[in-house]
Amino acid sequence: MSKTVNFEYEGRTYKLGFNRKTVKQMESEGFNFEEFKTKPLSCISDLFAGAFRLNHRFTKRELIDEIHASLKDKEGLNQALMDMYSETLTSLMSNAADEEETENLISWSVAEQ
C-alpha cells in the first residue's frame, strides 16, 4: 500500500504522495532523483511540489511553496518524500499490491533455442 503525507493548511486537508504516473510526469519535466547531491534545494522543492500531483494537481506553485515554508520538521518531511518516491520507483520492479488482481498478470519464461 502506498504511503501519503497528510496535513491541514488554512482549513484544507492535503494528502500528498506519488504513483507511477506522477513520477513519470515529474521525470518528463526534468526531475532527476540523482541530482539531490548536486542540486538539493531545487530537488527538495520540486519533490514536494511533485507530491501534490497525486491528489491536488491544480494547486499553484506559489501556494505549494508557502505551505512548504510553513511545515515543521522539514528534514523528516524531506526524508519521507524521498522514501515514498523511491518506493514508487521500486514498485516498477515488482507486482505491487496496488496493481489489479495478480491473477490477470501474464506469466513469462526464458528458454534456450
pLDDT digits (tens, 9 = 90+) for 61-106: 999 999 999 999 999 999 999 999 999 988 877 765 545 556 777 7
Are the beta carbons of 22 and 54 closer than 8 angstroms? yes
Instruction: Read off the DSSP letter of residue 25.
Output: H
Q: Which grid coordinates belong to 87?
A: 518506493
Q: Give the pLDDT of residue 96.
A: 52
Question: d(Cα 37, Cα 88) in Å, to the nearest integer?
Answer: 20
pLDDT digits (tens, 9 = 90+) for 2-28: 799 999 999 999 999 999 999 999 999
Which pTM value belongs to this model? Answer: 0.81
Cα–Cα distances in Å, from 14 out to 33, 95, 109? 23, 28, 43
Q: Which grid coordinates belong to 103?
A: 491473477
pLDDT digits (tens, 9 = 90+) for 32-62: 989 988 999 999 999 999 999 999 999 999 9
